[in-house]
Structure 1
Amino acid sequence: MDYREFFSQFKYLSEKPGIGGKIKAQPEDFIVMEEPLRSAFDGKKYAIFLLKKRNWDTMAAVKEIAKRAGISHKDIGFAGTKDRHAVTYQYISVPREAKEKVEAVQLKDIELRFVSYGRALKLGHLLGNRFKIIVRGVDESAFERAKEIVRELRSKGGFPNYFGYQRFGERRVTNHLIGKLLLKGDFEGAAKLFLGAHEGGMEGDEARKNFWETGDVNRALEEFPGFLRYERAMLYKYKETRSWRKAFLSLPLPIMRIFIHAYQSYLFNLYISRRIEEGLPLNEALVGDIVVQVKGGIPYRDRTYRVTETNIEFVKEKIRKGEAMVSGPLFGFSMRRAGGIPGRLEEELLAEENLSLEDFKRLPKPMAEPGGRRELLIRPLGLTYGYVPGVGMCFRFFLPKGVYATSVLREIMKDH
């Protein structure tokens, strides 16, 4: 199953036909500019660089910069991971004493510019991202169609805040399935899927297929190419310990957490889709909903309150003023649960998945997931768009951190 087929299960909020077309035909069609927190520039211990990259994964770029500068990649901080098939601008921090070494690094499709001194950057240490995206393969009629869709979505409060396909895997849409198996304590099943899932056409797929069919660890170590370093590390650990649990726990924590987060994201997407399917509003609070506070268009997901019979009119007014948004569940052991109709939807999802919130606590300690809430709608700030003859539609907008531009475009294009 590819990501288009996977995403077809999630309902569109707008009913107007999409404009079609294609994004990311070339990296320059998808430009991302990170907007950091001002506090990133407080301090003197770290040198802050603006990293421009083209067709580079963030982690791969950081590791290569570190290697060329002769420092550990763990000494390079960054606030967010960025699309590979794009031209992206993001900030990185390096120890002050490494400034000149990093300035001297020269790599194809990478530019580094010293900005100022500041603090060590950590994931999430940003306000959001500005986007400029070209949709190719459309004619000038796309402008009017886009206008109708945007008008319709504004009347419904915004775009559905689905997690984008990057969360689940573009070619091997398995991250959420692995996460579910880990939650159930099935480390062998999770390992088999992580190592053996294959779609065909990718380097290493033949080796994955052989492992899927035979489970032969020694053969896999002979056949898995060197770039599948996490897979090979897991195989070696299994050979040493004969324990798939220990093999999985030998992976770096950020890699293990990807799978749990992907499963949480899948359930959140299902929640939005069910709410649309049942005709329940995303921009209007129901009794039992949990709403998040919003300031300057930025949602503060750790500031939530419950909607009751007595405060519902007050909350609705807050939502109308753009000071609050209805949220959905990121399931975890200490998540604030909704009541009423929204609570029933949450309960139904958990029951269908044969899941309890305690399952998120039973994970090995580093992977245990407290969960939280996330707003149901995306409200792109400064959204502008137009048709460029001979090119296609050009969209520009700003999104808060953790929100996917591809989910905005999906609603306009209706391509998956």
Structure 2
Amino acid sequence: MRIKVKPEDFIVYEVADIRPEPQGDFALYRLYKRGATTWDVIGDIARRLRLKASAIQFGGLKDRHAISYQYVTIRHGPKKDIKGKNYELSYLGQTKTPMSKARLKGNFFRLLVREVKISPEKLSREIALISRYGVVNYFDEQRFGSVKHGLGFAVKELILGHYERALYLLLAEGSQYEMKRTEAFRKCLKKNWPNFSACLDLAPSPWERRLLEFLASHKPSKRTFKRAFALVDREYLLMLCHAYQAYIWNETVKLYLKNLGLKLLPVPYLLGELLFYRDFPEELTEAILGTKIPLPSPRLILDQPLKELMEEVLRLEGIDGLEKFRTLAKGATFKTYPREVAIIPQKLKYETVDQNKVWLEFFLPKGSYATIVLKRLFLLPETN
């Protein structure tokens, strides 16, 4: 299976509870982008309008290797279209309240899947199974871009009190931006750590420069590295926290499904393997399609069976229980919310192009991953 060979193969339409109103303080736009991250486009728009990036509100991050349409608002923004290298911002009118994650309902996908090895008959059967039994609602690899280096989660090290290691992973091995853009900066840090002054001129953002200036002017120590986290961009730090929560959630759900006694089939992914079912007994419908499991948080209150499963995952990570799932670093917090164990894609349709290509269309609620649906549909191993 190959996807995203070209941006035109992966098209995402954001669905949100927002529309132009007769009046309002916020200019509403439809953002079209191709082959660019949401962060990079927002940054370019902010530079053009001489605004802070935080002044531009949006619902969610869209894949770089795709064509996407999403809503953006800017308080007292210009009533005109803006065109950039990889994007077009189309003015729709005014609205009284800004765009946010809360207004996001989900995304409609139109995807071309290449090099598929599945007969039309089997594809039709698998589509029917997914429409009846749904798909496990795992977080997919896009959520874990910060650990593609294979060295682990910066936030895990932060929880364990390994502040220098956490900072090294955050700065030298990861990036808030497109990795190529920060390559020289990260190479410099790896070569010169902890001689931070050597890399000051390569810092890709103001916050990273301020952070390096702080580190260069203080003696390296556990206290210094801990204090440095107060200078990390807050949104980026929260994104890293959420990535680690997502990993713990995935592992908890795998244990949950195993405990239900389901026949589970493995599919490899960046952080090991994901486990999928094809179907389940009728009596487990509520336990699978009607159940939500919250993301881990130190204040999370769970029923005992679920708590035991999540804490089993945490112990394997070296963290002694949910109450220890916290950090002492400023800004690194763990917001929790309930997430469906499994979801059923809506308006699911397919069209066979030839023996090896299939177009798929479906709608998913916010926070769910189209690539998980594709993994379930095309990558499950054969069974007898």
TM-score by length of 1: 0.74
Asked whether the 8 Å contact 1:217–1:235 carries over to 2, the reply is no
Q: Which residue number corresponds to residue 248 of structure 1?
A: 229
**5 Å matches for 1:41-80?**
44-80=24-60
Asked whether the 8 Å contact 1:360–1:368 carries over to 2, the reply is no
Asked whether the 8 Å contact 1:334–1:370 carries over to 2, the reply is no
Change (3 A) 1:347 1:138: closer
Q: Which residue number corresponds to residue 6 of structure 2?
A: 26
Change (3 A) 1:33 1:22: same
Letter in 1 for 2:137: N
**5 Å matches for 1:10-25?**
21-25=1-5
Q: Distance in 1 between matches of 2:152 and 2:290?
A: 26
**5 Å matches for 1:324-403?**
325-340=290-305, 342-355=306-319, 356-364=321-329, 366-389=331-354, 392-403=357-368
**5 Å matches for 1:289-308?**
none
Kindly tell me the number of residue pairs found equivalent between the two proteins: 353
Compute the displacement of 1:67 (Å): 1.7
| Identity in percent | 28
Q: Which residue number corresponds to residue 144 of structure 1?
A: 121
1:35 paired residue among 15, 36, 39:
15
Q: Deviations over 1:54-104 (max 9, x none)?
A: 1121121112112223333322111111111111100111123x323xx25
Change (3 A) 1:133 1:173: farther
Q: Distance in 1 between matches of 2:37 and 2:228?
A: 25
Change (3 A) 1:129 1:175: farther
Compute the displacement of 1:116 (Å): 2.5
Unaligned runs of 5+ in 2: 264-282
Letter in 1 for 2:173: A
Change (3 A) 1:39 1:49: closer
2:106 paired residue among 109, 122, 128:
128
Asked whether the 8 Å contact 1:50–1:92 carries over to 2, the reply is yes
Compute the displacement of 1:368 (Å): 2.4
Change (3 A) 1:269 1:176: farther
Change (3 A) 1:109 1:238: same
1:264 aligns with 2:245: yes
Letter in 2 for 1:31: I
Asked whether the 8 Å contact 1:54–1:110 carries over to 2, the reply is yes
Compute the displacement of 1:379 (Å): 1.3
Change (3 A) 1:50 1:104: closer
Q: Which residue number corresponds to residue 78 of structure 2?
A: 99
Compute the displacement of 1:159 (Å): 0.7
Q: Which residue number corresponds to residue 285 of structure 1?
A: none
Asked whether the 8 Å contact 1:164–1:406 carries over to 2, the reply is yes
Moved more, 59-68 or 201-210: 201-210
Asked whether the 8 Å contact 1:168–1:175 carries over to 2, the reply is no
1:115 paired residue among 77, 92, 99:
92
Compute the displacement of 1:41 (Å): 5.2
Compute the displacement of 1:338 (Å): 2.5
Asked whether the 8 Å contact 2:211–2:231 carries over to 1, the reply is yes
2:254 paired residue among 253, 262, 273:
273
Letter in 2 for 1:47: A
Q: Secondary structure at the match of 1:133?
A: strand
Change (3 A) 1:410 1:165: same
Change (3 A) 1:206 1:66: closer
Letter in 2 for 1:350: L
Q: Secondary structure at the match of 2:98?
A: coil
Asked whether the 8 Å contact 1:207–1:220 carries over to 2, the reply is no
1:165 aligns with 2:155: no
Compute the displacement of 1:361 (Å): 4.3
Q: Deviations over 1:26-59 (max 9, x none)?
A: 1111111111114885961111111111112112
Q: Secondary structure at the match of 1:74?
A: helix
Q: Distance in 1 between matches of 2:129 and 2:39?
A: 38
Asked whether the 8 Å contact 2:55–2:75 carries over to 1, the reply is yes
Q: Distance in 2 between matches of 1:112 and 1:165?
A: 28
Q: Distance in 2 between matches of 1:89 and 1:175?
A: 34
Compute the displacement of 1:191 (Å): 1.2
Change (3 A) 1:257 1:40: farther
**5 Å matches for 1:400-411?**
400-411=365-376
Compute the displacement of 1:203 (Å): 6.8
Compute the displacement of 1:251 (Å): 1.2
RMSD: 3.3
